[in-house]
Structure 1
Amino acid sequence: MNFYKDNDDLRYYAEEAIDWGLLTELSEYRLGEDPEGFANAEEARTFYLEILEMFGEVVAEQVAPRIPSIEDEALRIEDGEVVEPAATREIFALFRELGLFGLPVPRELGGMNAPMVSYFLTAELLARADVSTMTHYGFHAGIAMAMLVYSLDEKTTRFDRETRTLLSTRWEDDIRKIVAGEAWGSMDITEPDAGSDMAAMRATARRDEDGNWFVSGQKIYITSGHGQYHIVIARSEPDREGLDALSLFLVRAWEDTPEGRRRHVVIDRVEEKLGHHGSATCALSYEDAPAELIGKRGEGFRGMLVLMNNARIGVGFECIGLAECALRIAREYAAERRSMGKSIDRHEMIADYLEEMQTDIQAMRALAVHCAVHEERHRKRRLWLDHLPPSDEETRRAWEREEEESRAISRNLTPLLKYYAAEKAVEIAQRAIQILGGAGYIREYGAEKLLRDAMVMPIYEGTSQIQSLMAMKDHLMGMLKDPKAFLARVAEARWQSRFAPDPLGRRVARLRSSALDAQRTLLMRTAADKVRAVRHKPLDQWADAFLKQWNPKRDFAFAMLHAERFTRILVDAAVAERFWAQAQEHPHRREVLERWLERAEPRVRFLEDEIRNTGERLLARLAEGSAASEAAE
């Protein structure tokens, strides 16, 4: 059995859609010149596909059979250290033997130097077997690459420009240790009283007279928090307010000395969770833990976004793997279970469920791959520009445009991917249980585990609601910054919806037009509410009120109420655009696009109607409550 070879849609991306040539050129600084590297891009592509095929077999044959024992053997703490199930230790020993922790890490640091996209695809394969194992896997190379990116950003990584060789990087020894499978790390954000609201964080960092940093405080819900390397965000600037008071630090949880291990970070407990039983979710305490400042003081939030953005893309692939597993359990059961003279997959409602699950998974994968490709193009093109720039100005300008375009695409798609994949993972897992009926409710078939595992997806790495607010804010701000470009997009979408030569192209354009109309509705209603709020003021004060006096808690109430509906419309349009682009290059993808449009078109009409015609009563009630609270204060 092989989780890669049996997945035609995944193979479409790996073998047809992904431009491995471009990603190879971005990843291989010395393509054709490095004796340890590849002679050309085709040789590199062959290697990447071999990795995926090998990993697909390993996961199917050696990881998946071990997962039931991970469910049965709980994680525990002994003498202050987390003890993992025996099966987990066996799986990660196998990964260490195969060198998988260094898959995307540069060759000069002991890795394979494969594109990050290939690493994300292995994450999907692993998540199909078990998402808790996949998350722990992600905090190996994911942390190693974060260390490298932070060093690149702060210019503490050195290259030889003549030979295009990486000479050194700030945390080189730590990265090598992770690549060797001897360590991993975690992303330490959440606190007992601060989650999505990072400005409310209480963990502190102080600097002594010798310039050394120390972190104190508590963090909770830290995935793989029993690792050695902790990327921690803490309040370092007591004289500043909000996010500007936060800085980012690397904290080593322990030091191994001749006298034994000396811990700087205490594991208070391992959480007992609904799902993800193979992943250690820890509560941690720091008391003057030695720390290293990452980047500049006061830029911790910006630095953490680098890690969080990739984590959110990773969650997208994690959700795809889980949903793929749920679909296959449901499909296999439905093909074998007979009722009323035929297998239940031949019953109309069940057939509809299965087709919708398949289409949604294909949509998730379309967003995820496109997002991952452009995040990698943005990061690696920035690396070339900063450290290995071209000699001619024309090439530099072309690279700058490429980097800016890819950064914008990644920023646009990441919240859509995280939102949609997380919500669909829960829905598809629940649908699988429904198809199995009573069999889905018992442990034997594994469907109930998938729902337990899926429930956290809309919560961690930024809730679905946070993703919706981010998407709404970015689109409204983009419209305000460049209204001329927005109007041009509206005109183009309307023209294409009427005159595009291909009927499918016209339907895709209509979805794009609907998304733009919804965006305009949110902004116009927000502006109208602002007019009503200031109409009692003298006319000469209106300009100041519109340009400077915006209260995000009050003035954007309508847009915030409908942010999630707007996000769903954006997803429907974005997926249609991806399938349309694929269909133009690979005609066999037209059928996928047709399936998507059949469901997306009525869904978007419904969501548009909700945005235009609901919410007045609720917003009025909330406004009355806010006014009463302000009066009481």
Structure 2
Amino acid sequence: MTSYTAPRKDMQFLLQEVLNVAASDIPGYADLDEGFTSAVIDEAGKVAEEVLAPLNAVGDAEGCVLENGVVRTPKGFDAAFRAMKEGGWTALDCDPDYGGQGLPYIMGTAVGEIFVSANMAFNMYQGLTHGAYSAIHAHGTPDQKAKYLPKMVSCDWTGTMNLTEPHCGTDLGLLRTKAEPQADGSYLITGQKIFISAGEHDLAENIIHLVLAKAPGGGEGTKGISLFIVPKFLVNDDGSLGERNGVSVGKIEEKMGIHGNATCVLNYDGAKGWLLGDLHKGMRAMFTMMNEARLGVGLQGYAVAEAAYQNALSYAKDRLQGRAVTGTQNAAGPADPLIVHPDIRRALMDQKSFVEGARALTFWGASLIDRAHHGDAAADGLIGLLTPVIKGFQTDRGFESAVQAQQIWGGHGYIEEQGMSQFVRDARIAMIYEGANGVQALDLVGRKLAQDGGKHVMAFFEMVKAECKAHDGDDRMKPFTEPLKAASKQLQAAGMFFMQNGMKNPDAALSGSYDFMHLMGHVCLGLMWTRMAKAAFVALDGGTSDKLFYETKIATGRYYMARQLPACAMHLARIESGADPVMALAAEAF
């Protein structure tokens, strides 16, 4: 049986000492003093540890069951969902005009990590609702907002996103779901959607589906797509629920992981829907939800890895196997604990340095979103650049970390009752949904680098340069700034290769896009570790009473810079090899 403890001190370190939120000029951050953020994180930790984590294995073992058109969630999920609602956790960073608490997005991010680590499948019910809420909040009419948002903020009603169809996933221009306009201004939606997370369940009295469909006159491809609000139960003018809409569950998918979340085939048979946003501009409205979801999935990547790491660390300290090569460490026992062995330390340090670096990147990204929400165009451009990196890099590395954690358990990690395999199985989906990671890499290289004339990536390079320059003369920082400088130059060299070769041979750029995403991910985490190291040195210089915490932070950062950042040279070499090694074989030669 696995366990989980919220990383309260690590989160507080990031919020108060690295990002220094309370002193930030971002509106709403002045209220985020140490006492307040500590109280929120501590209470979220209690919910996660006492309510959600004990249900993680239950959800995995029981899964969801379809009975007479109704999906039954695992035992205990309903009571836990009520506890989440009653505690106000679903409304944390939502608009107070619709019942939300109005906290900045960064606080929703911190709490979200805790809940994902404790029970990823469970948290998806409210996480997807938040995304649907955001899309309606951004693009809905005043009447739509008034009708749907208060109930979605409270999670009395939950939400979904409906994109994928049996014949099209990434290429949404191929979708066939139709929307026929009606005299009353509504549309009748007909078609089938698949892989719909939280598509049907017994946790809420209504489900608000956001559905992509093609209305007449839109033309071919994605330009003809519109987005529609299609409730499970129709909503009367007074807010009460009316008759059942024409949407039903075809089946629940049997998946590799996240068994506690109902992934459904949904059939729309003349279901009544209402246009959200502009006609034939559905992709723009949906991407409000998709971009938030991609950041949330990037968070899932390291949050599941955090839980897996905690259990690997505990096992490594308890499991006795062999003797340390430098001499017996546990003379009273028949063997030494696993953690004495260098290869076990390597695996643990890989996980620890990734998780803490990814948390810093995600929190920083959340602060950029908060800036963007208040009209900061530079922050909006920068988080747009970073989104595919946060999603793609962190879920790839998060899955690798979960596998490493399982490996530390050896054969016991392969046995289902121990719980380590669940982390691996749950983490795997994050590399696929909300845009598979190969698509994230293509988006980064094909769109984001050149966006607005390349000014956002140039701003990122300048930010890295300025960070390194700020520590000139501080020899303690050289183990951070010197590797970061080298990695940044390699990232710039990769970008230059694309500029010089991409136009005449697009395959040359796209063949290297995945490596570029990982190269940039390493540079981002190198930047985060440089910032964290400086904050740790400041604390030590100030005479902190917790020297071990800050010394551990510095040592972990040094590990990342010495052992992980050199991968940037490998990724650059792959990129500069161009398209020829990748495209050499004709299709029939495979």
Q: When the two structures are superposed, what TM-score results if normalisation uses the length of structure 2?
A: 0.86
Mapped pair 1:411 → 2:384: yes
What SS does the aligned partner of 2:399 have? helix
Asked if the contact 1:490/1:516 (under 8 Å) is kept, the reply is no
Aligned twin of 1:9: 10
Asked if the contact 1:497/1:506 (under 8 Å) is kept, the reply is no
Structure of larger gyration radius = 1
Mapped pair 1:597 → 2:561: yes
Cα deviation per residue 1:416-444 (whole Å; 9 max; x = unaligned)? Answer: 01011211221111111211111101123
Aligned twin of 1:85: 74
Distance 1:447 1:276 in 2: 13
Distance 2:26 2:460 in 1: 34
What SS does the aligned partner of 1:26 have? coil
Distance 1:416 1:145 in 2: 22
Aligned twin of 2:156: 182
Mapped pair 1:352 → 2:346: yes
Q: Shift of the alpha carbon at 1:525?
A: 2.2
Amino acid at match of 1:520: M
Q: 1:564 to 1:484 in 2, by over 3 A?
A: closer
Aligned twin of 2:271: 289
Mapped pair 1:363 → 2:357: yes
Asked if the contact 1:3/1:125 (under 8 Å) is kept, the reply is no
Q: 1:434 to 1:294 in 2, by over 3 A?
A: same
Asked if the contact 1:24/1:44 (under 8 Å) is kept, the reply is no
Asked if the contact 2:233/2:242 (under 8 Å) is kept, the reply is no
Distance 1:172 1:117 in 2: 25
Mapped pair 1:508 → 2:509: no
Q: Shift of the alpha carbon at 1:20?
A: 3.7
Q: Shift of the alpha carbon at 1:111?
A: 1.9
Distance 2:456 2:110 in 1: 39
User: Runs of 5+ in structure 1 lacking a partner?
Assistant: 29-40, 158-168, 383-402, 531-554, 626-633
**Residue in structure 1 matching 2:185, options 211, 222, 226:** 211
Asked if the contact 1:23/1:377 (under 8 Å) is kept, the reply is no
Q: 1:179 to 1:525 in 2, by over 3 A?
A: closer
Amino acid at match of 2:277: G
Aligned twin of 2:209: 230
**Residue in structure 2 matching 1:428, options 401, 408, 427:** 401
Q: Shift of the alpha carbon at 1:269?
A: 1.1
Cα deviation per residue 1:238-265 (whole Å; 9 max; x = unaligned)? Answer: 4512111011111111237999842321
Asked if the contact 1:103/1:119 (under 8 Å) is kept, the reply is yes
**Residue in structure 1 matching 2:43, options 33, 36, 54:** 54
Q: 1:482 to 1:618 in 2, by over 3 A?
A: closer
Amino acid at match of 2:560: W
Amino acid at match of 1:262: R
**Residue in structure 1 matching 2:311, options 329, 345, 359:** 329
Amino acid at match of 1:85: P
RMSD: 3.1
Q: 1:68 to 1:18 in 2, by over 3 A?
A: same
Asked if the contact 2:135/2:286 (under 8 Å) is kept, the reply is no
Q: Shift of the alpha carbon at 1:54?
A: 0.6
Amino acid at match of 1:193: H
What SS does the aligned partner of 1:324 have? helix
Distance 2:435 2:457 in 1: 30
Distance 2:134 2:111 in 1: 16
Amino acid at match of 1:313: L
Distance 2:84 2:261 in 1: 16
Mapped pair 1:70 → 2:52: no
What SS does the aligned partner of 1:206 have? strand
Q: Shift of the alpha carbon at 1:86?
A: 2.5
Cα deviation per residue 1:12-35 (whole Å; 9 max; x = unaligned)? Answer: 12343345447896359xxxxxxx
Cα deviation per residue 1:250-309 (whole Å; 9 max; x = unaligned)? Answer: 111123799984232111111111111110111101122111111111211111111000
Aligned twin of 2:497: 521
Q: Shift of the alpha carbon at 1:558?
A: 1.2
Amino acid at match of 2:388: P
Aligned twin of 1:305: 287
Q: Which protein has greater RCO, CA pairs closer than 8 Å, 6+ apart?
A: 2
Once the two structures are superposed, the pairs formed by residues 160-199 of structure 1 within 5 Å of their partners are 170-199=144-173
Q: Shift of the alpha carbon at 1:115?
A: 1.5
Asked if the contact 1:334/1:344 (under 8 Å) is kept, the reply is yes
Count of aligned positions: 550
Aligned twin of 1:250: 229
The sequence identity of aligned pairs, in percent, is: 25
Aligned twin of 2:440: 467
Once the two structures are superposed, the pairs formed by residues 593-632 of structure 1 within 5 Å of their partners are 593-613=557-577, 615-622=579-586
Cα deviation per residue 1:491-524 (whole Å; 9 max; x = unaligned)? Answer: 9959979995453323322211110001111221
What SS does the aligned partner of 1:192 have? coil
Mapped pair 1:133 → 2:122: yes
Q: Shift of the alpha carbon at 1:70?
A: 2.2
Asked if the contact 1:2/1:53 (under 8 Å) is kept, the reply is no
Q: 1:272 to 1:495 in 2, by over 3 A?
A: closer
Asked if the contact 1:243/1:301 (under 8 Å) is kept, the reply is yes
Asked if the contact 2:4/2:307 (under 8 Å) is kept, the reply is no
Once the two structures are superposed, the pairs formed by residues 506-585 of structure 1 within 5 Å of their partners are 506-527=482-503, 530=504, 555-585=505-535
Distance 2:66 2:86 in 1: 26
Amino acid at match of 2:342: E
Distance 1:452 1:206 in 2: 40
Aligned twin of 2:427: 454
Asked if the contact 2:378/2:456 (under 8 Å) is kept, the reply is no
Q: 1:487 to 1:434 in 2, by over 3 A?
A: closer
Amino acid at match of 1:611: I
Once the two structures are superposed, the pairs formed by residues 251-266 of structure 1 within 5 Å of their partners are 251-255=230-234, 261-266=243-248
Distance 2:393 2:367 in 1: 18
User: Runs of 5+ in structure 2 lacking a partner?
Assistant: 201-205, 324-335, 538-549
Amino acid at match of 1:98: G
Aligned twin of 1:270: 252
**Residue in structure 2 matching 1:143, options 132, 149, 165:** 132
Amino acid at match of 1:449: Q
Cα deviation per residue 1:550-606 (whole Å; 9 max; x = unaligned)? Answer: xxxxx4111111111111111111221222234344424544442221123321112
Q: Shift of the alpha carbon at 1:145?
A: 3.1
